């Protein structure tokens, strides 16, 4: 099972507001979940937990650079909305 499938599975859970590995079981038969995230094989929760625990240090070192790259690529236009509040048009 590819590391990218593991990370994508976890990102998918976070996007859905799920914070525990066992929540992946709710998506095991969901074809859209796998297809939309580009996941070849969806790991069961124990495997997901073990693989993320094993890669925690390596992932924690690369995450800040990934966040910085994401923020640099998206430059929202913060302007004043008609109501006077500050908002983003992006």
Contact 46, 9 (CB under 8 A): no
> What residues does each domain of the chain span?
3-88
pLDDT by position in tens, the chain (length 90): 898 899 899 999 998 999 899 999 999 899 999 999 999 999 999 999 999 999 888 888 888 888 788 777 777 667 777 787 877 655
Half-sphere exposure of 57 (CA within 13 A, CB side): 1
């Amino acid at each position: 099972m590819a590391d990218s499938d593991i990370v994508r599975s976890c990102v998918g859970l976070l996007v859905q507001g799920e914070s525990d590995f066992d929540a992946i079981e709710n998506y095991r038969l969901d074809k859209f979940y796998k297809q939309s995230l580009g996941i070849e094989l969806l790991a069961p929760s124990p495997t997901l937990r073990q693989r993320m625990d094993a890669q925690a240090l390596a992932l924690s070192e690369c995450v800040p650079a990934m966040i910085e790259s994401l923020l640099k690529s998206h430059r929202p236009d913060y302007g004043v909305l008609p109501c006077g509040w500050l908002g983003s048009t992006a």
